[in-house]
Structure 1
Amino acid sequence: MWRIWLPGAIVCTLAFLVGLMIGYPLAALAVALAGIVIWQASQARRLERFLHGELSPGALPQQGTFGELARHLAAHTRQQQQRAMRSHLALLGFRRSAMAFPDPLVLLDNADHHVRWFNRAAGTLLGLQRPGDTLQPLRVWQHHPEIQPWLAKTGQEPLELPSPVNPERRLLLRLIPFSSQQNLLVAEDITRLTRLEQVRRDFVANVSHELRTPLTVIHGYLELLSEDDCPALEPILPEMRSQSQRMTRIVEDLLTISRLEAQQGLPEERVALAPMLLTLEREAQALSRGQHQIHCEDRLGMDLRGSAAYLHSAFSNLVSNAVRYTPSGGHISIRLEHHGDGVRLAVTDTGHGIPDAHIPRLAERFYRVSTSRSRELGGTGLGLSIVKHVLHLHQARLTIESAVGRGSTFACQFGENRLLPRLPGNDDGQAPDDDGHSPIPD
């Protein structure tokens, strides 16, 4: 601090001494102070011009108060310039990387979803062009209106749709929050994966269809055989029939999944839930043969919009699984109730329970927690996969809660938009048909 004020103090002292010598000390001091003020004002003006970019750092004051300030200001300016240069180089590197990224990237405003920036791949797959599409609504809206409400809700599931440039190419869109005012739209080209998935579906459907006839023939001949006609086959004939029936069930379930995967939509009909609930209870009692306590409860008092055949197939799978995997004497409850922001049909059992590590994979095809127990009980390993596909077609989801040793709850969760007021006569507890069976249509 002394370096800042010492020069001015020396000047004032010398001026005062000179003034004493000539007989005008105060006048000399006043002249010295005026000179100091004028000099400081000129130095301040140079700093101001530097701040406005009119002077280079070399023209800044070098002495006095403003010289010290100029040195600190110049050092701070150099640091700022270095940081700005590093940020600029990082931004250039990011933009080059984003430009070379093989998937389309589009930066959108949160408020109006106008395009702020996009890379080259967005021009190839989404048809965006510079400068016409910059600061304009996303052009893909013109081809796919469903993208607008999807963009309005961040955190949604990815959206699959064809490319507006080439409809034969399939894109999977994801919306990633980029900042408080912008989102990043990422489009992945899944054309090859879609084709491979279609090949797999066709293969499973064709093989299952071709296996159905020979299995029917084999099963028919096995039914014609009797232990009395072929005593040598007596030990193995029941097992052959059992395995033939099991193979037939697997083929039928594979065909069911193939039909579900080929579905783009479902009939939007009224599903009377009261009769369906009664049918599920009767099916559970028939399968249980009096070995379990079965309780059915309707806390909803409404109907659903969807496909009765498909929903019955899904619900029936959950009920039959609960009966199969619950030891004798256990309790099974079927509840239709409000839950969270929607409604659900929940099937709860007091079975062995499922370890947490297995729950995320339960709906995979042929996945089994216990292979030996599943085969012993006659399961195909496809039931929950069928349930998952049926619920997906109804914009619903399967939730699973389980604790080892205490049982499990499998629930079909539907949105409230599928609820319908129950019509008079739909709560009379009558089943939908005589045999209580509602198969998925071919």
Structure 2
Amino acid sequence: MYDDIFNWLKEHGITEVECILPDITGVARGKIIPKDKFISEPDMRLPEAVLLQTVTGEYPQSSLLDETDADMELKPDPSTLRFVPWAQDPTASLIFDCFSPDGLPVETAPRNVLRRILNLYENMELKPIVAPEMEFYLISPNPDPDVPLQPPIGRTGRSEFGRRSYAVDAVNEFDPLFEEIYDYCHDQNLEVDTLIHEIGAAQMEINFLHGHAMDLADQVFLFKRTVRESAFHHKMYATFMAKPMEGEPGSAMHIHQSLVEVETGNNAFSNNDGSPSELFFHFIGGLQKYLPQTMPFFAPYVNSFRRLTRFTAAPTNVEWGYDNRTVGLRVPRASAKGRRIENRLAGVDVNPYLAIACSLACGYLGIKEKLQPRAPLSSNAYSLPYQFPTTLEESIERLRQCEPIHDILGQRFVEMYIAVKEQEVSEYFRVISPWERKYLLLHV
């Protein structure tokens, strides 16, 4: 079964294999195994609790966790075999899938959650196509977390200031870094496309070519590691926090999505005459109904909600419109073949597997329920009322009550995800911030 993997490792002189799987926060977990050891034992075992750590490395207090801490059976996905271009010795990476001892998919594994949704579309003879856009900040090294972040020094010897949106020279400040990022992406078959400078100081955006949803989720997962590693090499940090700096815009992962008919290869969002299909409108209707109820997948941390204000170029509602960047659901100007919906809600801090899975799940429910969207908006959507929960706690409670999403993503998975988020909120509220010490210590 794994002969092609073994032959590739030998052909390229690989000495070590990074055996990885994304946990519920999107962090790479796993083992680094010598090549010969991997060839003799390609499968791997890890406890399910590995998947269910909070972003701080703690575990949720949940009765759903197996008290025996039993092992999962992990099997490599041959399609994910790639070089690790920044490693000193010839190293490969492989993403693993998680199974129970009786061979069933582990329902809390993020790749299995996404695969569950893709199977639903496959049963409808449809294939989701996605294209993420990744925004992130370059920052100066910040070893002390109590010190505010600052933009890094560019080739001019100065830190960036002011607004440099779409400025080519501002990107050129960091040419050696971006040349290396593109080289690293090429070595890993990460199909990145356009690079632009975003609104914030040293805020960048890299877009991916459209493709199969699972493959793109894998690429985003690896891309975050790639950018961080390259930034370290150039003596700076790259951060995918949703709102890392005061006074600067947040960072998003916009998800362009469409559906292709498996039999014909046609875009299911368009009729034969080029007009929008009923399925297109149902998909938007599903997003409008269910996105506000599933916010923890698109804004997973306390910091995520700092981004979602009308003052940071982020969506504040689930209105939709044609080529309108003020709405949460934008339909870009495109041909009938390229008709797609851009979900602008997700922060770049999301787990890509879960954000893509949930976005597609909302659209799927819209199709099944034959939901109709509100009329498209051609005006400024920021003038409308805020339509999302305003805190992580409120968003968790709304997710807890959204039974259709529990059914489609998996009841145990959603309950475990909620338990992880509640644990993170609990940990956050034990921390006293500099703002509190500055303004409350001696004034109240």
Q: Which structure's relative contact order is higher, taking Cα pairs within 8 Å and 6+ residues apart?
A: 2
Q: Name the structure where helix makes up a greater proportion of residues.
A: 1
